[in-house]
Amino acid sequence: MHTAELEPLRVHVAAPPVGMVQRCAACQVVLMDNTGWTNGTVAVVEGDDQGLSWWPAGERIATDKTPERRASITYVVGAGRDLEDDEQPCAGSN
């Protein structure tokens, strides 16, 4: 469980990726940005190319990422699981 002194984690719904970016379907926050693969800023060991990373579309994704801060914790919230006290739906969820 997330530490109570920190800001609550926001729970987003992963939309399908568009181009090299994946956003929340509800609030449009960027959940995954793979533009580093196309502009050469992602370093990989030769022969160990894992390819692009995406969250499964439709999955609930909890993260402490904000527009001002990179994520330090991000994970899939299990289907049908109630949110914990330190998890809150994103601003676009109703």
Q: Given 3-state DSSP classes, what are the helix, strand and coil percentages for the chain, each rounded to the nearest 5? A: 5, 30, 65
Q: Which amino acid is at 86?
A: D
Q: How far apart, in whole angstroms, are the C-alpha atoms of residue 18 and residue 24?
A: 11
Q: How far apart are CA 85 and CA 13, in angstroms?
A: 18
pTM of the shown model: 0.76
- Domain parsing of the chain, residue ranges: 1-42+53-83
Interval 31-87: pLDDT, tens: 988 887 666 656 555 665 566 788 999 999 999 877 677 778 889 999 899 999 999
Q: Residue 63 corresponds to which tokens in the numbers above?
A: 């993260």
Q: In sequence order, which residues have a C-beta less than 8 Å from that of residue 50 and are 6 or more positions away? A: 44
